[in-house]
Amino acid sequence: MTRGKPWRARSSDPPTTVHAFCDRVDSKDESLPFLASIRIEWFRDRDSVERVSSPRAAAHAIRGIIEGVTQKRSVLRARAVEDEIFVDLSHRLPLRVGGLVVSNVVVALTVDDEVIDAAQKAEHLRREIELDELARRQARGRYDFLRDVIMANPGTAWLYSSIDLPDRIGKPPGGDYSELVRRVVEWHPKSRWVVVAQILHEFLENLSESGRRDLITVLRGAIETLGTEAQAVRFEQAIAMRETLDHMVDFDSSDVTS
């Protein structure tokens, strides 16, 4: 509600007329509106050569000013929003609109209980989303620190293992740097087994279907002869699983194109 002394018309001005109405005005959440009770005092502007507009034009202008404030604010802060509206209007009055002079405006905002409940839930959801994003940024930061700093090389990892680092900066679970170094080296793109597996995969991809089956049979026999039956079975199962996944991808692609 606007407070303080209203702007006073000159004694020579015509008597003021009051126009009061209620309307819903948007908050920052469009589906959660304020209910505004608006009282406008106006009189005809004798100095204006414009054709006198309907009082609705003045009401429309005032409503636009009010909504310019409410659209940036939450319904959970109705009293603070009223204060902002009061300050905004105090700088604009008297307001001339189409041959009319708006001399005073009184605004009261209310919010339905169900709207407040929905706004509180929305605020809680936004807070949870912000916390989730913060957790993701912290996780990315720890990952980057482990990858780019601690795991730059085994010597750096051993050096950091002698320092008592805060948990929030990022360090291996349980502080086991030796295990982390071993795993990183093992899964490094240039480690021996990764390179061999990549070459074998690329070679198989370039073979025909019959050539691929013949090579797999030869490899299985070699693994069974030089290794164990269990290793040969695992190799065959891995190949079968890969072929199954390839067929699934091909099937999905054909559905999309059709």
Q: What CATH number has the domain bearing residue 99? A: 3.30.479.30
How much is the pLDDT for 6? 41
Residues 232 and 201 occupy one common structural domain = yes
Residues 104 and 151 occupy one common structural domain = no
- For the chain, how many structural domains are there in total? 3
Residue 11 in any domain: the answer is no
Long-range CB contact pairs, 179-184, < 8 A, 24+: 180/146, 180/150, 180/151, 181/151, 181/154, 181/157, 184/151
Q: Which of 97-111, 122-136, 148-162 has the lowest mean pLDDT?
A: 148-162
Residues 59 and 96 occupy one common structural domain = yes
Residues 157 and 181 occupy one common structural domain = yes
Residues 96 and 28 occupy one common structural domain = yes
Residues 22 and 87 occupy one common structural domain = yes
Residue 29 in any domain: the answer is yes
pTM of the complete model? 0.51
Residues 92 and 30 occupy one common structural domain = yes
Tokens of residue 231, six digits: 């290793």
Residues 127 and 83 occupy one common structural domain = no
How much is the pLDDT for 1? 38
Residues 101 and 68 occupy one common structural domain = yes
On average, the pLDDT of the chain sits at: 77
